[in-house]
Structure 1
Amino acid sequence: MIFDLFKLDGKTALVTGGTRGIGLGIARALGDAGARLVISSRQENAAALAELRDAGYRVDYINADMSDPDAPGKLISDTLALVGNLEILVNNAGVADHGDTVGFSAERYRHLMAINLDSVFYACQAALNSMRQQRGGVILNIGSISGYISNIPQRQAAYNASKAAIHMLTKSLASDYAEDNIRVNAIAPGYIETDMTAGGFANAEWAPVWTGMTPMKRAGSPQDIGAAAVYLCSDASSYVTGEVLVIDGGYTAR
């Protein structure tokens, strides 16, 4: 049956930044598909974890501040020590920071890059060692349409650069490790209703532009991203690697 290809029974999925927003949406979806979940975040969200467990998912939580360069490697090793295997890594943890480039401080730039790019590279690096030994695995990185376009009206050159780098990292890793039966893909969300975008949607200048430039004239939901994550993390996409799947209500189609 075709639907059996979407099942993740017996597989462990680590979702970084998995206690809210897109990460939580992905965790719910992977749990629905049967995966055992390991969720990390900088701050524990007891309500979100309780919700997942009440839904019947098997969930473990590991605290990790991904701005610490040692955190990604430790997170992977802690996950392996806890559950013994790791078939799926979802690099979702990220931050948004807007501002004019001229006044964008080095501290803000380094903090953004440390989380959005560096932590993803280090987490992939650590997970690849394990996945190569087990002769297979899936890595899913969360990029953004900001890796393709220059958003308006807000200025966010540093953020855009971080997401463009994620897309190329995804393609490069997919090429390098396909022979080890490791698939690496990414999702590039458009404007999704989350805590991260709440301020923008409440902004009288930004919100009309965001929705006005989206052909579907609305924001997406974390569930939209979660559904795509199940496809890319399951055997349903067994011949897909090095792809960046755009989910944006048509924003980049124009």
Structure 2
Amino acid sequence: MSSEPNTLTDIFGLTGKVGFVTGGASGLGLEISKALALAGAHVVVADINLSGAQNASESILSLGAQSIAVQIDVTSEQSVQNAVSTAVAHFGSIDILFNNAGIADPVPSLLHEYDTSNWHKVISVILTGTYHTSKAILPHMLKQGYGKIINIASMWGLSGSSSVFPIPAYTAAKGAVVNLTRELGLQYAKENIQVNAICPGFYRTNLAGGAYGKKEFVDAITAFTPMGRIAEAHEIRGPAIYLASSASDFMTGQMVVVDGGCQAK
């Protein structure tokens, strides 16, 4: 049983905690990394793009937090183990894991026209990457008797996307991450490790390549979103801190949907 909090910092603060963010060099991962830093955590920025991770880590240092950059290929179990070992050697522990690394379907396609190599690539990064990183970090959380795992899923993990565009590998992978979140939430519920997911809608990042620069695409997804706008990347910070902090200590195996109302339709 946790002690009663007396301040907002007691509820949402992360002073002294260590966060590990995959895909932390850009997009939602960068915003999550910054949010952790602002809440007082030390941040491991893990990304396949090492120079990008180093730049992100430097920006976090400028916020007054401690941070290191590590290169990681979430599709490689050995690469993940190496990155986790480096992080633990530097900070001594990992308290918070954000499984954020992901890619979009390179070419939106109907399934019978879908490129098989692209299918395996998307599944490998999103689903297998979540497996690799969670598997590597859970033993450290079990040893210390505490942990938070937050998977970045998608609103397309809860429903099909083809009313807007066909992205079968992405929706399949994110749907699997949603149910893996439920499974891990149950497996580790008695170990003081909470496993939850964020299911974002349309956020302005580079995940969709140059799509956000195309008026037709922007008009379509804006019209699809009940709030009538696309979220800015920094708007992920609030949900991220909620799930990373003690505010969510009695919550596990759940999805926080932040999609401007899409799932309500």
State whether TM-score is above 0.5.
yes
Q: Which letter does structure 2 place at the counterpart of 1:169?
A: L
Is this contact kept in 1: 2:21–2:29, CA < 8 A?
Answer: yes
Residue in 1 aligned with 2:195? Answer: 184
Equivalent residue for 1:27, pick from 27, 33, 51: 33
Q: In structure 2, how many angstroms separate the alpha carbons of the residues matched to 1:72 and 1:169?
A: 19
Q: Which letter does structure 1 place at the counterpart of 2:245?
A: S
Identity of matched residues, %: 33
TM-score, with length taken from structure 2: 0.91
- Cα deviations across residues 57-91 of structure 1 (Å, max 9, x unaligned)? 21100011223243223322222122111111111
Q: In structure 2, how many angstroms separate the alpha carbons of the residues matched to 1:222 and 1:8?
A: 21
Residue in 2 aligned with 1:216? Answer: 227
Residue in 1 aligned with 2:243? Answer: 232
Is this contact kept in 1: 2:44–2:68, CA < 8 A?
Answer: yes
Is this contact kept in 2: 1:113–1:162, CA < 8 A?
Answer: yes
Q: In structure 2, how many angstroms separate the alpha carbons of the residues matched to 1:26 and 1:155?
A: 28
The structure showing larger relative contact order (alpha-carbon pairs under 8 Å, at least 6 residues apart) is 1
Equivalent residue for 2:90, pick from 73, 77, 82: 82
Root mean square deviation, CA, Å: 1.4
- Cα deviations across residues 175-221 of structure 1 (Å, max 9, x unaligned)? 01111110000000000001123523333443222110111111112
Residue in 2 aligned with 1:37? Answer: 43
Q: Which runs of 5+ in 1 are unaligned?
A: none
SS at match of 1:197: coil
Q: Which runs of 5+ in 2 are unaligned?
A: 1-5
SS at match of 2:196: strand
SS at match of 2:231: coil
Aligned pairs (5 A) from 1:1-254: 1-3=6-8, 4-43=10-49, 44-45=51-52, 46-97=54-105, 98-151=108-161, 152-197=163-208, 199-254=210-265
Q: In structure 2, how many angstroms separate the alpha carbons of the residues matched to 1:183 and 1:147?
A: 20
